[in-house]
Amino acid sequence: MSTVNPRPGLSLVFPVFDEEQNVGQLLDESLRLAPILAQDYEIVVVDDGSRDGSAAIVEAFCRANSRVRLVRHASNRGYGAALRAGLREARGELVFFSDADLQFDLDEIATLLAHTRDFDVVAGYRKRRCDPWPRQLLAWAWGTLVCGLFDLRVRDIDCAFKVFRRHVIDAIPIASIGAFINTEILVRASNANFRIHQVPVTHRRRRHGRQSGARPRVILRALIELAGLYRELRHSSAALATTRDGG
């Protein structure tokens, strides 16, 4: 008689690209914290074609601790593609994700988990955003556009500090390969009537490495993916309305 391995209680997912100076501390903090948060857990790192020593550092952690798993992309596919791969790989009943740049306090995962009995998605929002003002202005404009188009009532669209119940990950399709993925997940979850709760979290300046989210190529891809999702959801709504009218 075969046995089925039970799902871990919690998956921590981290997409990584050229985070050699950050990923070791990230994993140290994760391994310190995870046993406090869940009796059974896993840490899934997706290396998105890093050109530095990020993958080698993660591999060393994998050899030392079987709870750390590495997914490697041979080339850089984009933030969304890396996060999507990590969410697909994650096996936990609760799935958390964040970036590897140490701009968030992982101890605050506990604050999100406290609400998972009552909500399907618990999304952090930065109570004091520590990015340079041009990036904050861009984020405000993006959030205003998205909330207007999709009637989405979320304070911080792109805050990469979220936890999902397993059924949300299983239910919603994710198409984005770029920075749009945070927005897409929230829009699809809201459209599917999943319950979303927002929690304030601490944000810190990046100490090592470079941000890439405000590059023109990244913004253009996000706008293209946003337009595609808007057309898809409008078409779906129109088709549903036609079906109802017909009968």
The model's pLDDT over 32-75, given as tens digits with 9 standing for 90+, comes to 999 999 999 999 999 999 999 999 999 999 999 999 999 999 99
Instruction: Report the pLDDT value the prediction gives residue 19, as an integer from 0 to 100.
Output: 96
Question: Residues of the chain with pLDDT > 90: what percent?
Answer: 74
- Does some domain include residue 3? no
Instruction: Report the pLDDT value the prediction gives residue 7, as an integer from 0 to 100.
Output: 73
Q: How confident is the model at residue 235 (pLDDT cuts 50, 70, 90)?
A: confident
CATH of the domain at 173: 3.90.550.10
Question: What is the residue-averaged pLDDT of the chain?
Answer: 90
User: Looking at residues 147-156, what average pLDDT do you find?
Assistant: 91
Tell me if residue 98 falls in helix, strand or coil: strand
- Does some domain include residue 232? yes
- Does some domain include residue 131? yes
Number of domains in the chain: 1
Residues contacting residue 56 through CB under 8 Å, at least 6 positions apart: none
Lowest mean pLDDT of 132-141, 144-153, 191-200, 217-226, name the range.
132-141
Tens-place pLDDT, residues 159-204: 999 999 999 999 999 999 998 999 999 999 999 999 999 999 999 8
Tell me if residue 121 falls in helix, strand or coil: strand
- Does some domain include residue 50? yes
- Does some domain include residue 5? no
| Element spanning 185, H or E | helix 181-191
Instruction: Report the pLDDT value the prediction gives residue 2, as an integer from 0 to 100.
Output: 43
- Does some domain include residue 38? yes
Q: How confident is the model at residue 1 (pLDDT cuts 50, 70, 90)?
A: very low
- Does some domain include residue 4? no
- Does some domain include residue 208? yes
- Range(s) of the domain holding residue 156: 10-246
Which spans in 5-155 are helix H?
Answer: 23-37, 54-64, 79-89, 109-113, 133-150
